[in-house]
């Protein structure tokens, strides 16, 4: 279909408006209908492909000291090979595969990216989590209610 194409006009606003009204505007409704019809004729395309289906997932934990790791028991045998190839190390004291914080930030980012890419190629999904603090949060001191005396402090010998 022939849409409203561009036209050349002179530097005279009145004549330019007349040329647009005479040559472009009569074809404009047909072109507008064609534009509205186009999405109805073509199916909507996905902008991004869907994530691949995964058989299992591996959770990598980001610890406060900068170490990234996964508990040994949660790592499948196929994933262990990938983690070893990406410089993760088995730490027997922690019973986990860890990527030490001794690598630079950019090196760790590249190694983690490579591990995720290789694991997803094997249909193993990867989750990231921050480690929860090991220590419980300190509790608030007791506050006396109005009209009541403040709670007694423990003796110095009992505070140790």
Whether this prediction's pTM lies above 0.75 is answered by no
CA-CA distance, 91 to 65, in Å (whole number)? Answer: 15
Q: Buried b / exposed e across 74-89, counting CB within 10 Å, b at 16+? A: ebeeebeebbeebebe
What's the CATH code, domain 56-130? 3.30.70.1490
Domain residue ranges in the chain: 56-130
Give tens-digit pLDDT for 60-99: 999 888 889 999 988 988 899 999 999 999 999 889 999 9
Per-residue pLDDT of the chain (160 residues; tens, 9 = 90+): 455 567 888 888 998 888 888 888 888 888 888 888 876 777 777 777 777 788 889 999 998 888 899 999 889 888 999 999 999 999 998 899 999 888 998 999 999 999 999 999 888 999 999 987 655 555 555 555 566 665 665 555 555 5
List all residues 6 or more positions away from 36 whose beta carbon is below 8 Å from its beta carbon. none
């Amino acid at each position: 279909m022939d849409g409203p194409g561009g036209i050349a006009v002179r530097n005279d606003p009145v004549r330019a408006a007349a040329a647009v009204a005479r040559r472009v505007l009569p074809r404009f409704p047909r072109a507008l209908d064609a534009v509205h019809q186009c999405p109805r004729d073509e199916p909507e395309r996905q902008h991004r492909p869907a994530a691949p289906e995964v058989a299992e997932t591996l959770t990598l934990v980001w610890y406060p000291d900068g170490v990234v790791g996964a508990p040994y028991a949660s790592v499948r045998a196929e994933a262990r090979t990938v983690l070893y190839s990406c410089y993760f190390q088995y730490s027997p004291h922690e019973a986990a595969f860890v990527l030490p914080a001794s690598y630079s930030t950019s090196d760790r980012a590249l190694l983690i990216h490579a591990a995720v890419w290789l694991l997803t190629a094997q249909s193993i999904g990867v989750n990231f989590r921050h480690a929860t603090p090991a220590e419980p949060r300190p509790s608030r001191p007791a506050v006396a209610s109005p009209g009541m005396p403040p709670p007694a402090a423990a003796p110095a010998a009992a505070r140790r």
